[in-house]
Amino acid sequence: MSSWDNETPGSWYSEFTTGSKFSYVDSAGEPVGVVQLGFLRLLSVQARQNLTYHCHRSVAWVDQNANNNYNRALHFQGANDERLSHETNPYIKALVDGCSYRKGFDRTVLEINTPQVEHLPLLDIKVSDFGESNQQFGFEVGPVCFQG
């Protein structure tokens, strides 16, 4: 986790000084190819991926202190370059939302479970709730599961 002092809230992680778009490897540690992902999508009717957001006084999804709104919620860039958010995608849900009260250290686990298989894997994340002196965040991107 980091406070990301030199970064701008509302920016994509790939625009951070040390950030990048997400990349994926197979079980042998080799990069997953575009052709392989294409075939996985063709043979699948559903795809699922989790992202765990580690927080210190930073909202990831719903903001319980602001009448349960999603103004500070994470946004994602899908594999097809589409922007995914609470407003645009009904297939994102919080399995655990410990970051919703902006208190202490906690975590939020978001699951994207979608029939729109072209959205996954995720490529980038936009974080809005950081920049105050007592805020920190980090995240872990989980593997993608394509289901036939």
Domain assignment present for 61: yes
pTM higher than 0.95: no
* Domain count of the fold of the chain: 1
Confidence band (pLDDT; 50, 70, 90) for 81?
A: very high
CB 118 within 8 A of CB 112: no
Residue 52 sits in a domain whose CATH number is 2.60.120.1000
What are the start-end ranges of the E strands in the chain?
11-12, 46-56, 75-77, 83-84, 92-97, 105-114, 124-127, 136-147
Model confidence pLDDT, tens digit, residues 22-61: 999 988 999 999 999 999 999 999 999 999 999 999 999 9
Confidence band (pLDDT; 50, 70, 90) for 133?
A: confident
Q: Identify the pLDDT of residue 12.
A: 98
Domain assignment present for 3: no
Domain assignment present for 2: no
Domain assignment present for 134: yes
Domain assignment present for 1: no
Domain assignment present for 91: yes
Domain assignment present for 6: no
Q: Does the pLDDT of residue 17 top 90, yes or no?
A: yes
Containing domain of residue 97, as a range? 11-147
Domain assignment present for 56: yes
